[in-house]
Amino acid sequence: MLRLGIMGGTFDPIHYGHLVAAEMARTEFALNQVLFVPTGLSPHKKQRRMTDAQIRYHMVEMAIRDNPQFIISSIELERRGPSYTVDTLKELQQIYLQHELFFITGTDALREIFDWHKAEEILTLTRFIAATRPGYGAQEFLTKMALEYPQFMKKIHVLEVPALAISSTDIRSRLAKGQPIRYLLPDEVYNYIQATSPYPSYSQ
């Protein structure tokens, strides 16, 4: 069986935290490919205005271009309504019939997994690789999980990655304040943001 990593996110914008997590997961778990899936309408992020989906998608495309094992999917952009992970996984399962699925998240996202729509079903469809993210320990979550959902423990893997305290929120707020963002994300994405200013007077 082949192994497919799935990296979902708003990628508003994509940065080195995402890329490092994806690459470490790929090598550590012998994934054949990692599929980046930019969200259309995120059910978790209704409260703020997201950058246009085409722009976020384009920035991901540019960021992964030089890695032949990184690929991108627009399935969540083509779907109407909120992007539920459970629907995405079911769709991908039909496309990647020969693959075992590994959903890659940061530990911040992992900690919220039981608030996700149909969380238990999600855990029957995929394994999880949770990349450590500064400020978001996983120990408390794992203890709770072991007590309440012992049957899912073997589906969750915490992966230590070199700590990168980079977030899209911070990048947007830096842009709003006129602070530098160079080297937090790939040069191509940096140049695109400089040239097209997709984050006009952003305020969180």
Point out which residues bind ligand ATP (CB under 6 A): 9-12, 17-18, 21, 105-106, 108-109, 131, 133, 164, 166-169
| Cβ nearer to ligand ATP, comparing 128 with 152 | 128
**Phi then psi dihedrals of residue 67, to 5 deg:** -115, 110
CB of 45 to ligand ATP, least distance (A): 7
| Cβ nearer to ligand ATP, comparing 59 with 94 | 59
Residue owning tokens 């305020």: 203
CB of 129 to ligand ATP, least distance (A): 10
Which class for 41: exposed (0-12), middle (13-18), buried (19 or more C-beta within 10 A)? middle
- Comparing CA positions, the residue from 162, 165, 156 lying closest to residue 136 is 165
Torsion sign across C-alpha atoms 122, 3, 23, 156: positive
CB of 21 to ligand ATP, least distance (A): 4
Amino acid at 187: D
| Cβ nearer to ligand ATP, comparing 94 with 139 | 139
Q: Please give the sequence-ordered ranges of beta strands (E in DSSP) within 10-162, or none if there are none.
A: 33-38, 70-72, 99-106, 127-131, 156-159
DSSP structural state of residue 201: T
Give CA–CA dist 144/116, Å, rounded: 16
CB of 15 to ligand ATP, least distance (A): 6
| Cβ nearer to ligand ATP, comparing 97 with 111 | 111
| Cβ nearer to ligand ATP, comparing 119 with 147 | 119
CB of 187 to ligand ATP, least distance (A): 18
